[in-house]
């Protein structure tokens, strides 16, 4: 508003409009612009779900399964090649050296 004419009317915030007009949740779902932050967030989540992005719990379960698989592969590689260095293990498993170290800590 800095530098603008004093005769201009400052626009109201969405929260103020919603409060003054007593707009309900059902009405907000039908509107495009006068919505709360919660409604905006739920629309973003809905778009992500439609795009095929999984829910957080499902994603974490999948990541845990992949980590357990890599742990098993690392354990098998260590048993098979006990003289291998972390670098050689990383190359063998197609993962990074720091990740090999992290997995080794989980094995202990």
In whole angstroms, what is the distance from residue 69 CA to residue 61 CA? 12
Give pTM, 2 decimals. Answer: 0.60
In whole angstroms, what is the distance from residue 104 CA to residue 66 CA? 15
pLDDT in tens, 28-74: 989 988 899 999 999 999 999 999 999 999 999 999 999 999 999 99
- pLDDT-based confidence at residue 1 (cuts at 50, 70, 90): low
């Amino acid at each position: 508003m800095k530098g603008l004419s004093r005769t201009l009317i400052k626009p109201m915030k969405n929260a103020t409009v919603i409060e003054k007009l007593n707009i309900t949740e059902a009405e907000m779902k039908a509107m495009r612009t006068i919505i709360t932050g919660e409604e905006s967030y739920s629309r973003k989540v809905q778009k992500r779900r439609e795009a095929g992005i999984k829910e957080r719990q499902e994603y974490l379960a999948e990541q845990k399964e992949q980590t357990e698989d890599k742990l098993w592969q690392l354990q098998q590689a260590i048993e098979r090649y006990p003289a291998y260095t972390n670098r050689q293990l990383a190359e063998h498993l197609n993962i990074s050296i720091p990740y090999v170290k992290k997995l080794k800590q989980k094995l202990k």
